Amino acid sequence: MITEFAEKLFIDGIWRTGEGARIPVENPATGEVLAHIAAATPAEVDLAVTAARKAFKSWSRLAPVERSKALHRLGDAVSAEADTMARTMTLEQGKPLNEARGEILKLAEACHFYAEEAVRIHGEIVPNTTTDIDSLVVREPIGVVGAITPWNYPAELVGWKLCAALAAGCTIVIKPAELTPFTALAIASMVEKAKMPAGVVNVVTGSGSTVGQALVEHPGVDKIAFTGSSAVGLHIQRSCPTIKRLSLELGCNCPLIVTASADLDAAAKGAVRRSFRNMGQICIAINRIYVARPIAEAFVRRLAEAADRLVIANGIERPDADVGAMASAEPLNKTKAHLADALAKGAKLVAGGSAPEGDAFARGHFFRPTVVAGCTHDMKVMTEETFGPLVGVMVFDGLDEAVELANDTPYGLASYVYAKDMDEIRYLSSRLDYGNVAVNNVDAGIMNAPYGGRKQSGVGYEHGREGMLEYLNFKHVRIRYDEPKGR
């Protein structure tokens, strides 16, 4: 699949060999170059936006049931190709094959979910001061969407935007991350298989600062749907030359609170899963854990043992590994820097702390899942997003202290609680200043509930009905009627 898409752009339903500079895409588990992509030129970006604008005229006027059928066909095409698409993702991103396959199937789930929502875009009739007037509130698609996505979930983060936008009647130009472009191009080929009209979905590859920025600045793009770092999100907000709708799904530094009433085994299991899955390269990864003093020692022991038990491997060779390679040297270096900072400031290493040994790991971006205890808020691990396999643990004495520490951050995407006491659960969940609070589980995002951040974690929502509202304008149509003649 990868060589098939090398140097290609998908514009107006046609696979074009790009005219811009070639950029290598590497396998992060081995360092080998998989293939090259073509950086879209300004003219090619313009072509894609023009195609999306043209397609918008008919796609937005299509009966919702037809858009729904097209999204169901896309979901079916994605499921049918799950194995090959997963392989593409593992090769370019590093996560184990089984996990990649799970992500592809979740993309298919998003297609079917928004296919169902496409036929439920209804409006309201609002009461007026006189009875001869109706106020209709109708919903209309915004227009052309520029979707800019990161490399950690190369299928789902494209899919949430694509499916919600198309269900609403918008068309889309996607700019995937340079590190993981082939998964997005594979999605484009499923769009083709699903026989979507030309121009409804377009994919242009290249760097964020040129191709992504060109979408941000293009007057033909009505909305930017962005997932990525808070720094780039802020830059996009500042650099929009015209008024555009923006959804910004940004970074976080997510806390977990473990109270004295918690089931310790469940808490350690949840903490390990959400700290280290995808090598911690998740916007909702648990970065910092606050644990009640009486249970701290027992919890840290369980956490460290569970972290040490995780199987690390090249995700192609060992599909069922717990974790694979990190996606590039950048998040790995940041992980090492945050670890060094914590240790220099007095934290104690209780698990991991180095790269795994052996030839199999020599050329890839591998690191052992790492736990540091005895942390304080002077340490970067407790205050900045690491985006790597490192978690810090700190002890608390009272629930108010735990809440204060958990909320002591500019971010607000997701937080976690393990507790059995209902009073504690209510107290904590109502005080945590986050868009998502997961209690006694670590799946903060599910397809049919809104998922979005507060503060520097962004604006807007994905998932759920709310995710589709991000692609719709409201229109108020106020109609005054006369008495019918000859009544």
**Residues designated as active site:** 249, 283
Residue 205's alpha-carbon distances to 6, 173, 217, in angstroms, are 11, 10, 16
The yes or no reply on residue 237 touching ligand TAP (CB under 6 A) is: no
Q: How many CB atoms lie within 10 A of CB 346?
A: 12
Selected from 10, 276, 387, 416, the binder of ligand TAP by CB under 6 A is 387
State which residue, 259 or 457, has the beta carbon closest to ligand TAP: 457
The yes or no reply on residue 151 touching ligand TAP (CB under 6 A) is: yes
User: Of 376, 402, 301, 285, which Cα lies nearest the Cα of 335?
Assistant: 285
Stretch that binds ligand TAP, among 72-80, 122-130, 205-213, 288-296 (CB under 6 A): 205-213
Coil, helix or strand at residue 418: strand
Stretch that binds ligand TAP, among 58-66, 91-99, 112-120, 201-209 (CB under 6 A): 201-209
Cα 129 to the center of its chain, rounded Å: 45
Stretch that binds ligand TAP, among 26-34, 50-58, 132-140, 248-256 (CB under 6 A): 248-256
Do residues 283 and 232 lie in contact, with contact meaning Cβ atoms separated by under 8 Å? no
Which residues within the stretch 400-419 sit at the binding site for ligand TAP (CB under 6 A)?
413
Nearest residue to ligand TAP by CB is: 208
The DSSP element (H or E) to which 117 belongs, if any, is helix 97-118
Task: Count Cβ neighbours within 10 Å for each residue of 147-162 and write b for 16 or more, e otherwise.
Answer: bbbbbbbbbbbbbbbb
Sheet holding 390-396, edge to edge: 348-351, 370-373, 390-396, 286-292, 254-258, 414-418, 436-439
For residues 367 and 386, give the distance between their C-alpha atoms in angstroms, rounded to a whole number.
Answer: 13
CB 232 to ligand TAP: min, Å: 3
Selected from 85, 236, 432, 472, the binder of ligand TAP by CB under 6 A is 236
For residues 117 and 164, give the distance between their C-alpha atoms in angstroms, rounded to a whole number.
Answer: 8
Stretch that binds ligand TAP, among 96-104, 208-216, 298-306, 473-481 (CB under 6 A): 208-216
The yes or no reply on residue 81 touching ligand TAP (CB under 6 A) is: no
State which residue, 78 or 250, has the beta carbon closest to ligand TAP: 250
SS3 content of the chain, % helix, strand, coil (to 5): 40, 20, 35
For residues 9 and 15, give the distance between their C-alpha atoms in angstroms, rounded to a whole number.
Answer: 6
CB 319 to ligand TAP: min, Å: 23
State which residue, 37 or 379, has the beta carbon closest to ligand TAP: 37
- Report DSSP letters for 268-294, one per residue: HHHHHHHHHGGGG-STT-EEEEEEEHH
State which residue, 85 or 236, has the beta carbon closest to ligand TAP: 236
Which amino acid, 253? N
Coil, helix or strand at residue 256: strand
Residues 267-286, mask of contacts with ligand TAP (x by CB under 6 A): ----------------x---
Residues 104-143, mask of contacts with ligand TAP (x by CB under 6 A): ----------------------------------------
The yes or no reply on residue 249 touching ligand TAP (CB under 6 A) is: yes
Sheet holding 245-249, edge to edge: 14-17, 8-11, 201-203, 171-175, 144-148, 223-227, 245-249, 458-459
Which residues within the stretch 286-345 sit at the binding site for ligand TAP (CB under 6 A)?
none
State which residue, 55 or 157, has the beta carbon closest to ligand TAP: 157
The yes or no reply on residue 250 touching ligand TAP (CB under 6 A) is: yes
Coil, helix or strand at residue 218: coil
The yes or no reply on residue 177 touching ligand TAP (CB under 6 A) is: yes
Residues that bind ligand TAP (CB under 6 A): 148-152, 157, 175, 177-178, 207-209, 212-213, 216, 227-229, 232, 235-236, 249-252, 283, 385, 387, 413, 453, 458
